[in-house]
Amino acid sequence: MKTIGLIGGMSWESTVTYYQILNRVVKDKLGGLHSAKCLLYSVDFQEIEECQANGEWEKSGNILANAAKSLEKGGADFIIICTNTMHKVVPQIEKEIEIPILHIAKAAAVELRRQDIRTVGLLGTKYTMQQDFYKEKLKEKHVDVIVPDLQDMEIINSVIYKELCQGIISEKSKKEFLRIIDGLMKKGAQGIILGCTEIGLLVNQEDTEISVFDTTYIHARQAAMLAMEERVLI
């Protein structure tokens, strides 16, 4: 079994979910007392969030690149970054290491195509929704992307950072997210990407009729399958 290197802590709540999924997938596949072989480098999210807010992406990329190098030295065979937004700096990190990074948006795109979803609504931080680093990976797999309007983007971003990353689950915020999802459905979305690893803490498939794609689950599952040397089509 390959060793998975996790860059986590963004936030730590969603990193816990990654760890749970990795081990459950391995146990379900191999049985017995099998569990995932993994190394975790958990960063201080406060430092990363300040970099995001100040537009200091190169600085945040250096922090994650150092984490990746530590994981590589520790024996990781490949790396997963346990957050959507910080995949913006993947090209910077890749220059510093020899082992591959399993990209979360590519993992999501594979699952979307498998289910024949051609148009998807994207929820995430404002950086993920507004910038191209994430959406272009979906478009490379011929998946069209619809995002909320600017006002709703601000609502989503605020809930992520001020509530979900703080461990706060609000019924009011859940209703707002479901309203936004309904709006994306009306614009033609065939599915919804939960493109922030915290959003799955608030809404899930049981809450809506449209297909929901939780990137935390998709990413972690594909990482576990890759670690067990199952084929992952990325």
Strands of the chain, DSSP E? 4-8, 38-42, 78-81, 119-123, 144-146, 191-194, 211-214
> In 3D, which of 199, 194, 197, 223 has the Cα closest to residue 211?
194
d(CA 85, CA 49): 10
Strands 4-8 and 78-81: parallel
Biggest alpha carbon distance in the chain? Answer: 49
Other C-beta atoms lying within 10 Å of the C-beta of residue 36: 24
d(CA 192, CA 211): 6
Strands of 54-194, DSSP E? 78-81, 119-123, 144-146, 191-194
CA–chain centroid gap for 130, Å, is: 16
- Give the residue numbers annotated as catalytic, written as ranges: 83, 196
> In 3D, which of 181, 197, 85, 93 has the Cα closest to residue 134?
85
